Amino acid sequence: GEEGPAVITFVGPGGGDFSSEMTYKFVGEGRGDLAMVAPHRMYWGRIAGVSAAVLVLALILAVMLWPRPATTTTTLLITTQPPTTPTPATTPPTTPAPTTPAPTAAPMPSAPIAECTFWGDPHIQTFDGGRPSFYGEGEQWIVRSQEVWIQGRYMGTKFTKGLAATNKVVVGGPFLKGHVVEVGTLESGELTVDGQPVLYEAFPPPKHNLAGLGNLTYSEQGELVDAAAGIWEKRVVRMDLPKNVTVTVFRWKNYIDLRVRMPRQLDQDGSCGNFNGDATDDTTEAIQLRIGARVAPGELLFGHRAALHFTPEEERLLETCAPAHKANALKVCSTMELQGPHIPGQMKPCLINNCLGANEHALKYAKSIGL
């Protein structure tokens, strides 16, 4: 058919020869049909964007601040910086689990303490309960051990017919680190430490400190060894010494009574016995056989030996000793010369001890035969 008249038609970019153009003409306020009107701004998109950002930030803070369990925590650090050596993870300090303390070992029981007592001329009760008597004069071991040394001097008096009573005691040995304490009768006035007088102030004097090793006191206090001595005013020296050793000396006019309290020591023996739990081997004869009739040469704690005497009454007492008993005593005392051959006149005191040592009342016996 025949073509109609041509009209302007949109044929796509670059396909035609014409382009459209729109113009607007201002004809006066209120006279046209078009106007300049600003469109409403849309805030909802912005609000949504800000809200999303706040939510993301809140989630990040919640993850970072969420309480961590008490275990090892590794923190992952996201960064745009070049990779660096990672920081070693650290373990937060934890409270150590309670531990049960190791059981405390029970303390070792203290060694049992026993006492040995001397009274009169001199009657003795050993640590084991034996009852020897030593009537001969001279220096004798009361306690001899590795550490503790106690010696006594037994001397006769006119009141005992020459039979010995304890006249002085001396304490020394390694446990006192070379110090020596001597206590004598009231007549002698001897009360010294290392040869120097102590406790001589107005009675009762203050206690004396023994070089930090123990204390000496001098008072009226102390349980009597011999109740018969209670008629006299008491003068009591108490020595509190190392190794739980306590020596209490009751000073009378011309003799002393004595109490020794202590635990057993190594290699112990003496007039107080060997502290072995057996009283039967604490006889006068058995003790002298073990340690000798006198303190041996080189072992004397006293400054000198006393001169020995033998009274007519003692001579007569020896005459009453049964022949067989006396012969045995001679044999025993002869073998003891090795303990101190330099001590003059030691044989007769040894014989007195062996003949009369089993008799706790030799003085009473002496008086009964008219001596």
Confidence of residue 24 (pLDDT cuts 50, 70, 90): low
Structure tokens at 116: 């040995």
Res. 292: pLDDT tops 80: yes
Would you state the pLDDT for residue 108?
A: 54
Would you state the pLDDT for residue 370?
A: 67
Res. 80: pLDDT tops 50: no
pLDDT averaged over every residue in the chain = 80
Q: pLDDT above 90 covers what percent of the chain?
A: 40
Predicted TM-score (pTM) of this structure: 0.67
Would you state the pLDDT for residue 100?
A: 63
Task: Tell me the HSE value of 98 on the side-chain side, using a 13 A CA sphere.
Answer: 1
Give residue for tokens 């209490």: 248
Least confident span in 6-20, 33-47, 304-318: 33-47
Would you state the pLDDT for residue 74?
A: 44
Would you state the pLDDT for residue 301?
A: 97
Least confident span in 109-113, 183-187, 287-291, 304-308: 109-113
Confidence of residue 39 (pLDDT cuts 50, 70, 90): low
Least confident span in 42-51, 266-275, 350-359: 42-51
- Please compute Rg for the chain using Cα positions: 56
Give residue for tokens 């084991």: 128
Least confident span in 197-211, 319-333, 343-357: 343-357
Number of residues that this document lists for the chain: 371
Res. 84: pLDDT tops 70: no
- The answer to whether 164 and 317 have CB atoms below 8 angstroms apart is no
Residue 84 region by backbone torsions, left for phi larger than 0, else alpha for psi between -120 and 50, else beta: beta
Amino acid of residue 150: I
Would you state the pLDDT for residue 351?
A: 79
Average pLDDT over residues 5-16: 72
DSSP notation for 90-104:
-PPP-PPPP-PPPPP
Would you state the pLDDT for residue 17?
A: 76
Structure tokens at 310: 């033998």
Residue 28 region by backbone torsions, left for phi larger than 0, else alpha for psi between -120 and 50, else beta: left
- The answer to whether 161 and 149 have CB atoms below 8 angstroms apart is no
- The answer to whether 194 and 180 have CB atoms below 8 angstroms apart is yes
Res. 87: pLDDT tops 70: no
Strand intervals (E) in 271-349: none
Burial state string for 68-98 with b = 16 or more CB within 10 A and e = fewer than 16: eeeeeeeeeeeeeeeeeeeeeeeeeeeeeee
Would you state the pLDDT for residue 308?
A: 80
Cα 328–331–334 angle (5° rounding)?
145
Question: Using one digit for the tens of pLDDT, what is the confidence trace for 218-264?
Answer: 999 999 999 989 999 999 999 999 999 999 999 999 999 999 999 99
Question: Using one digit for the tens of pLDDT, what is the confidence trace for 173-213?
Answer: 999 999 999 999 999 999 999 999 999 878 888 899 999 99
